Amino acid sequence: MRYRSGVGVPVSGLPVGKRSRGTPLVALLPEGAGVPVALWPNDPTLPLVGISRGGRAKRIDGAEFGKLTARGNTAMGLDEGDRLLWVGVWPETTAGLIGTTTGRLLRLPRYRGGR
């Protein structure tokens, strides 16, 4: 199991268990080992939504990531101390609600493209 930080656990170090549920793999890594890498569909037209811990949300056109260079791309600016909480594919035909622990809701209407 390998994380973006390069920290990993050799297969020989995984515990053998007799329980059906076992131990979550993330629990085997040392604290602060890194962030799991997600797999995305290979379709640059799918829009993404990013949500920060500070409550900022942004819908990003997937075409922005079609031709990345070695310098990368800044898709969403974050304030000092804020961090990215979630990023996911958000199909054009999907509307949704994002809720907070304080009871606030953010409605994301269907994507209409463009600006």
So what's the pLDDT on residue 4?
45
Handedness of CA 63, 107, 79, 52 (dihedral sign): negative
CA pair distance 115, 104, nearest whole angstrom? 25
Q: Which residues of the chain have pLDDT under 50?
A: 1-5, 115
So what's the pLDDT on residue 1?
42
So what's the pLDDT on residue 25?
64
So what's the pLDDT on residue 14?
62
Question: Which CA distances in Å does 17 have to 1, 8, 11, 28, 46?
Answer: 17, 20, 14, 13, 40
Residue 90 burial class via C-beta count within 10 angstroms: exposed 0-12, middle 13-18, buried 19 and up: buried
So what's the pLDDT on residue 76?
84
So what's the pLDDT on residue 47?
82
* Token couple for 87: 């990023």
Prediction pTM value: 0.54
